[in-house]
């Protein structure tokens, strides 16, 4: 019975992807080193390891890792804000991109936000990150505004995209 409840709530469950079995689990302190390596390989200005450590301890943030063959290949997280969920990070290791892992992580976040009681979510994406914008649009996000000079490292604009979380959580 509790196993079924955990599955419905999306707690430390496994979900299939197009390329083998990807297992999702909540981010733990022991995962931070591996997650930070992926972050550093993916971004010009990566989050610090301590930022991920704080996310592990903060009940207002929820992060999940994707494992393939025991190795962390991606992660995503959201911040619990008063009226909607704020997706703050979605990252897949460069060697594992375009395999459906980001989609799997995002759908899992959608379900977790529904369970939390949210009906909408949003995220920021670099204006030049057309691959990410394309993925978000395919999932149903829509751009709502642009914030000039949002990214401090380059002065690049951010596109704010919103997604309406409709329906019941999916299994």
d(CA 118, CA 109): 11
Per-residue pLDDT at 111:
94
Task: Enter the DSSP assignment of 46.
Answer: P
Sequence-distant (6+) residues with CB within 8 A of 86 are 78, 79, 121, 122, 123
Residue 99 is encoded by which pair of tokens? 């395999």
Per-residue pLDDT at 2:
35
Q: What is the mean pLDDT of the chain?
A: 87
Give me the long-range contacts of 10-15 (CB less than 8 A, separation at least 24): 10/108, 10/111, 10/112, 10/115, 10/169, 15/104, 15/108
Q: Could you give all domains of the chain from N- to C-terminal order, each with its CATH number? A: 2-116 (3.40.630.30)
pTM of the model: 0.84
d(CA 33, CA 105): 19
Q: Which residues pair with 158 in a beta bridge?
A: 126, 147
135 CB neighbour count, 10 Å cutoff: 17
Per-residue pLDDT at 18:
47
pLDDT exceeds 80 at position 132: yes
pLDDT exceeds 80 at position 169: no
Residue 34 burial (C-beta neighbours within 10 Å; 0-12, 13-18, 19+): middle
Rg (CA), the chain: 15
């Amino acid at each position: 019975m509790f196993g079924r409840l955990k599955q419905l709530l999306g707690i430390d469950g496994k979900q299939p992807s197009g390329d083998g079995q990807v297992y999702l689990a909540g981010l733990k302190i022991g995962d931070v080193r591996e997650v930070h390596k992926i972050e550093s390989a993916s971004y010009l200005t990566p989050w610090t390891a301590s930022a991920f450590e704080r996310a592990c301890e903060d009940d207002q943030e929820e992060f999940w890792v994707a494992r393939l063959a025991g190795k962390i290949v991606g992660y995503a997280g959201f911040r619990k804000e008063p009226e909607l969920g704020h997706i703050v990070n979605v990252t897949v290791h460069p060697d594992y991109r375009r395999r459906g892992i980001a989609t799997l992580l995002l759908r899992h976040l959608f379900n977790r936000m529904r369970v939390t009681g949210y009906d909408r979510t949003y995220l920021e994406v670099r204006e030049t990150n057309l691959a990410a914008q394309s993925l978000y649009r395919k999932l149903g996000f829509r751009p709502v505004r642009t914030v000039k000079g949002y990214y401090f490292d380059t002065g690049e604009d951010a596109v704010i995209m919103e997604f309406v979380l409709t329906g019941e959580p999916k299994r």
